Amino acid sequence: MTSHFLTYEDHVIHYYKMGNGIKTKLAFHGFGLDGSSFKPIADSWSNVYTIYSFDLFYHGKSHWGEPNNKLTKQQWQKILQAFLQKEKINDFSLMAFSLGGKFALTTLELFPDQIREITFIAPDGIKTQMWYNLATYPLIFQNYFKSMIVKPNRFLKILNLVKSIGLLDKSISKFAASQMNSAKKRRRVYYSWVIFKDLKSNMNHISKLVNENDIEVTMFLGSYDKIITEAGMNKLLHKLKNYDIHLLECGHNNLIPHVAAFLRQIE
């Protein structure tokens, strides 16, 4: 595994290169992780794929240089074009876990004729969670959530309220609390919510691109995952002509090692 940087305008993208296969796969990790989190899967696929695994902005060593401005799809397109040119990549596949699903779906919209396969691992972006909308729209909620960076008790009050009236599963509330237990983490939560706000995809459009370009879709989900569920994924899957889905016996946070183990078994 080697470490690389790409500078584009005021932004810095850090990514890892793993494996030595003839196929190329771009990977986007989940919230609170970084590009190295895909190493178990990269090791299982080392002879098949060369994987470029990005640190998303506000994670790892990547840096978003415009904290007052959102990341637009047009900016992401230019950043990826610079990356593809640097690495001399033409055709490629995608892999995404959780938050990284938003980046994979946006990349599919921007480069549909260059993508051959997509591996989704409990991806975000197919069904948007209610709390994500509250955190980013309208402005009054956005400002309230921003204040939680320095006033975490506000977050805990909301968390306890929705949990007490049965709107939030225990495992989800535990995950949410773990991601908000320091100022650094709360800042990452807020800016990830707001900066990535425009990375939204319409599933009718996504399914059309997948079907028209004969893109192979494989989805891995955790049977105990309360965050990204099979029912939520049907918003996309039911529109696809062909796809493979695998339910693994694990929760959301343990999916990557379980996917790696599954891949080793079928090699």
| Residue after which a domain boundary falls, among 167, 193, 219 | 193
| C-alpha 216 chain-centroid distance | 18
Does residue 13 sit in the same domain as residue 136? no
How many domains does the chain fold into? Answer: 2
Does residue 67 sit in the same domain as residue 121? yes
Residue 37: pLDDT over 70: yes
Does residue 175 sit in the same domain as residue 233? no
| Residue after which a domain boundary falls, among 193, 219, 236 | 193
255-258: which pairs have CB atoms within 8 A and are 24 or more residues apart?
255/97, 255/121, 255/122, 255/220, 255/221, 255/222, 255/225, 256/37, 256/38, 256/40, 256/41, 256/97, 256/121, 257/40, 258/220, 258/222
pTM of the model: 0.85
Does residue 234 sit in the same domain as residue 114? yes
pLDDT band at 128 (very low <50, low <70, confident <90, very high): low
Write the CATH number for 51: 3.40.50.1820
Does residue 135 sit in the same domain as residue 14? no
SS3 call for 134: helix
Does residue 59 sit in the same domain as residue 94? yes
Tell me the C-alpha distance between 24 and 68, whole Å.
34
Residue 145 in contact with residue 190, Cβ under 8 Å?
A: yes
SS3 call for 161: helix
Tokens read off for 207: 């399914």
- Give the pLDDT of residue 256: 97
Dump pLDDT digits (tens) for 175-192: 555 555 566 777 777 777
Does residue 45 sit in the same domain as residue 109? yes
Dump pLDDT digits (tens) for 50-106: 999 999 999 999 999 988 889 999 999 999 999 999 999 999 999 999 999 999 999
Q: Which of 66-80, 170-184, 197-211, 244-258 has the lowest mean pLDDT?
A: 170-184
Domain range enclosing 156: 130-193
**Once rounded to an integer, what is the mean pLDDT over residues 144-160?**
59
Does residue 46 sit in the same domain as residue 100? yes
Residue 135: pLDDT over 50: no
Q: What is the 3-state secondary structure (H, E, C) of 183-231?
A: HHHHHHHHHHHHHCCCCCCCHHHHHHHHHHCCCEEEEEEECCCCCCCHH
| Residue after which a domain boundary falls, among 141, 165, 193 | 193
Does residue 69 sit in the same domain as residue 33? yes
Does residue 74 sit in the same domain as residue 165? no
Amino acid present at 210:
V
User: What is the bridge-based pairing of β-strands 49-54 and 216-222?
Assistant: unpaired
Residue 108 in contact with residue 94, Cβ under 8 Å?
A: yes
Does residue 22 sit in the same domain as residue 76? yes
Does residue 105 sit in the same domain as residue 228? yes
Residue 112: pLDDT over 80: yes
Indicate left, alpha or beta for 122 from its phi (over 0: left) and psi (-120 to 50: alpha).
left
User: What is the bridge-based pairing of β-strands 11-18 and 2-8?
Assistant: antiparallel
